C-alpha cells in the first residue's frame, strides 16, 4: 500500500512541476522572450537548459535547486541531469 502511495505522490509532484513550469514560461513566451511551453518540461529541466546556454539567472537558480536536491538526498547537478534526461522531448 505504501509503495502505491509513494508512486501516486511522485506522479502528482511531477504533474505539478510541469504545470508550474508552463505557468512560469507562458508570460515570457507571450512577450517573445522564450520558446513556447511544451507541457512536458520540468522546472529543473528548464533551469538546466538555460544554465547550459549560459544564462546567469539559471546558473544561480541551478545552484540553489541543487542545494535543496542534495539536502533531500539527490545527487549533485540535479538541473543539468534533468535537462540531459529529458532534452529528447523537445526534438
Closest CA to 41 of 7, 91, 77: 91
Within 31-76, residue ranges assigned H as helices are 43-52, 56-71
CA distance 61 to 88: 22
Q: Measured in whole angstroms, how far is the alpha carbon of residue 27 from the centre of its chain?
A: 17
For residue 20, give the 3-state DSSP assignment.
helix
Question: Model pTM?
Answer: 0.78
Taking the domains of the chain in order of start, what are their residue ranges?
A: 2-90
Greatest mean pLDDT range, 32-36, 51-55, 59-63, 82-86: 59-63
Residue 33 binned pLDDT confidence (cut-offs 50, 70, 90): confident
The per-residue pLDDT of the chain, averaged, comes to 89
**26 and 66 Cβ atoms separated by less than 8 Å:** no
Amino acid at each position: 500500500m505504501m509503495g502505491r502511495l509513494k508512486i501516486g505522490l511522485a506522479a502528482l509532484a511531477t504533474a505539478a512541476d510541469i504545470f508550474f513550469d508552463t505557468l512560469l514560461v507562458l508570460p515570457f513566451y507571450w512577450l517573445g522572450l522564450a520558446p513556447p511551453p511544451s507541457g512536458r518540461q520540468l522546472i529543473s529541466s528548464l533551469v538546466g537548459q538555460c544554465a547550459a546556454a549560459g544564462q546567469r539567472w539559471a546558473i544561480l537558480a541551478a545552484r540553489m535547486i541543487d542545494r535543496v536536491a542534495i539536502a533531500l538526498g539527490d545527487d549533485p547537478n540535479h538541473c543539468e541531469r534533468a535537462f540531459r534526461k529529458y532534452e529528447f522531448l523537445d526534438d
